[in-house]
Structure 1
Amino acid sequence: MHVPDGFINAPVSAAAGVVAAGAVAVSLRGARRELDERTAPLAGLVAAFIFAVQMLNFPVAAGTSGHLLGGALAAILVGPYTGVLCVSVVLLMQGVLFADGGLTALGVNITDMAITTTVVSYLVFRGLVKVLPRKRRSITVASFVAAVLSVPAAAVVFTLIYAIGGTTDVSIGKVATAMIGVHVLIGIGEAVITALTVGAVVAVRPDLVYGARGLQQKLKLKVGGELIDAPAAAPVTVPVAARSHRKIWITGLVTSFVLAGFVSFYASASPDGLEKVAHDKGIDSKTKEHASADSPLADYGVKDVSDARLSGGLAGIIGVGVTVVAGSGIFWALRRRRTSDVASTEVRAEETVA
């Protein structure tokens, strides 16, 4: 659903850029509260994994494909604020290095693919978790439903943006019907990927899943014919080695490299939902050439490498590497800032007491 340059006029693109910048600023502050010793090391990995899986277009209808948007996956694994930043990092890398998604449309893409999907999916997820049984399976089910709904929600937001600032005269009703229809199907694929990934992590390390915190049920005791909460057990100190996330981090990174470097070659070559609708309805008639069209990695291939399999594989591996470095750097800095803020608060508290 990457919107290219020329789909949306300059004033609306600029307004979307302001909205995106404001949301990113809020997310930077919010992420400092979410990032701790569990989520901080994984946030960069989540961004890299989303980049890799977005290269795997899957067929959804005759002549149409879809790919992961990633907002639901990121929000559930590392938190909604951090999730917005994860997807935004991916979109920035794709736009600048791979000419995927217009640079003037970056604000539109962040608003649509990062903010909308993350906010909608996390609200749905939290609502479902509150009413479903407090079990690991409920986390997977809630992830599936949240991801399904997040994709057509993004299609609706794109349609609204296009209704305000579209550069071609096309019936909004036709655009909405086509966009929502195909993205409901894409949402199913998104949901399968999201649920499988979240379920896999919850199965081995539920403590690393932001959305699974507080999953444990309180023990009940029957006293005098009535059920009461059992006294809280004394906290158990877990050795640092036992809490290490190194194994899952390495596994996730290797998986991302394999998906982007090798599996992506077998992805569907059909246009994705937005590209198909744009072509069929004629809203792509004023598309502009990407400012990074001459990039050495444009269109997910390495310039001057003639072998298509090698070119695409190298581009995918480079993309995962750059994304994990950029994302990890941002989240490490935010984590350091949080640690510094906490230390400063404790020092001020001690001085006040003294």
Structure 2
Amino acid sequence: MHIPDGFLDPKIWVSASAISAGAVATAVTKTRRVLEDRQVPALGVMGAFIFAAQMVNFPVAGGTSGHLLGGALAAVLLGPWSAGLILTTVLVIQMLFFYDGGLTALGANVLNMAFIAPWVAWGVYRLITGPVRGNAGRTIATFLASWLSVMAAALACTLEIALSGTVPLKVVLPAMMGWHALIGIGEGLITVVVITFVSRLWGLEQPGQKDLAGVSRGRY
């Protein structure tokens, strides 16, 4: 899903960069208001985990593979604004040192994976866990939030490429959405396992409301 240089029209990547810059600035402001010094390490640990997890690919089909995006994982545990900062940091490091994604496309990649994915995950998770209680409800909410976050990021990526005229929409849409529908299943399963483990470890009754960093207790 990392868009390389040359795939996006200047109007698309400039617009995406402007939106992402505004989102990052807002995330810094929002997160600074609710984070305490003792809570900052939670963001670092989550960022390190997501960075490491993205290095591990799992087979999908037809010889292709996918890896954890981490938007839902970070959003459910730490809130969407904190998730945005974490994913932005990971994406910048990956671009600079591992050449995942291009410099001109960084804004689009940040928009898709660091903000669209976490906010979709957060919205879906809160929507489902509002009326549905219990472990089963949270598990379903976590899985659906994870799967839909991947699909939303993939759709945004698809539209950016199609609007740039790089690949026709009728070609890129089924390819991107088809493969990421499978990748999203892996994302959902991994996220469910990790959040279940962390919830039990920290005694969190409802991730996203009483969470590791204490930054998402209804303040979003």
- TM-score, length-scaled by structure 2: 0.90
Higher Cα Rg, which structure: 1
Q: How does 1:164-183 map to 2 (within 5 A)?
A: 164-166=163-165, 168=166, 170-183=167-180
Q: Distance in 2 between matches of 1:56 and 1:31?
A: 29
How has the CA–CA distance of structure 1 residues 38 and 125 changed in structure 2, closer, same or farther, with 3 Å as cutoff?
A: farther
Provide the identity percentage. Answer: 45
Give the deviation of 1:128 after TM superposition: 0.8
| Matched-pair contact (CA < 8 Å) for 2:5–2:105 | yes
3-state SS, counterpart of residue 123 of structure 1:
helix
Amino acid at match of 1:177: P
| Structure with the bigger percentage of helix | 2
Q: Any idea what the Cα deviations from partners look like across 1:176-209, whole Å, max 9, x if unmatched?
A: 1111111010000000111111000001203497
Residue in structure 2 matched with residue 49 of structure 1 by the alignment: 49
Q: Unaligned stretches of 5+ in structure 1?
A: 215-244, 246-330, 336-354
Quickly say closer, same or farther: Cα 1:62–1:151, change in 2 above 3 A.
same
Match among 191, 195, 198 for residue 194 of structure 1: 191
Displacement after TM superposition at 1:210 (Å) = 4.9
Q: Does 1:204 align with 2:198?
A: no
Whether contact under 8 Å (2:91, 2:110) holds in the other structure is yes
Q: Which amino acid is the alignment partner of residue 9 of structure 2?
A: N
Write out per-residue CA displacement over residues 253-303 of structure 1, whole angstroms, 9 at most, x where no aligned residue.
xxxxxxxxxxxxxxxxxxxxxxxxxxxxxxxxxxxxxxxxxxxxxxxxxxx
User: Contact 1:39/1:78 (CA < 8 Å) preserved in 2?
Assistant: no
Match of 1:141 in 2: 140
Q: Offset of 1:32 from its aligned partner? A: 2.1
Match status 1:110 vs 2:110: yes
Q: Which sections of structure 2, spanning at least 5 residues, go unmatched?
A: 216-220
Match of 2:218 in 1: none
In structure 2, the residue matched to 1:185 is 182
Structure 1 match to 2:121:
121
Cross-structure match for 2:159: 160
Q: 1:63, 1:204 → 2: CA distance?
A: 36
C-alpha spacing 1:125/1:59, structure 2 compared with 1 (3 Å): same
Aligned amino acid, residue 90 of structure 2:
V
Residue 126 to residue 34, structure 1, CA distance change in 2 (3 Å)? farther
RMSD: 2.2
Would you say the 8 A contact 2:199–2:207 is kept in 1?
no
